[in-house]
């Protein structure tokens, strides 16, 4: 992927080794289909925009009951 090919930057899953949920300090799960980082402990999903994880509680969406399983 080139920065000039018109495609959006991709999130690097290797960052999961460094990132934790800012609310619980627990590990996150990468959902590539939804472009989100899931915190099962906090029951929220943080969006990934243009390849950058937005780790702000105000930007997180609550997980549904089904997603929490």
pLDDT per residue as tens digits for the range 19-61: 999 999 999 999 999 999 999 999 999 999 999 999 999 999 9
pLDDT score at 13? 85
Length of the chain: 69
What tokens were used for 18? Answer: 């460094």
pTM for the predicted model, two decimal places: 0.84
Q: Distances in Å between the alpha carbon of 30 and those of 3, 6, 13, 48, 52?
A: 23, 23, 7, 10, 12
- pLDDT of 6 over the 80 cut: no
In a domain, 27, yes or no: yes
- pLDDT of 4 over the 90 cut: no
In a domain, 26, yes or no: yes
If one counts the domains in the chain, the total is 1
Range of the domain at 28: 13-62
> Could you tell me the CATH number of the domain that includes residue 55?
2.20.25.10
pLDDT score at 30? 95
pLDDT score at 5? 58
């Amino acid at each position: 992927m080139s920065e000039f090919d018109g495609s959006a930057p991709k999130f690097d899953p290797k960052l999961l080794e460094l990132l934790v949920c800012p609310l619980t300090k627990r590990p996150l799960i990468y959902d590539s289909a939804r472009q989100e980082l899931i915190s099962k402990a906090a029951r929220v999903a943080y969006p990934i925009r243009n390849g950058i994880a937005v780790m702000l509680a105000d930007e997180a969406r609550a997980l549904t009951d089904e997603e929490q399983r």
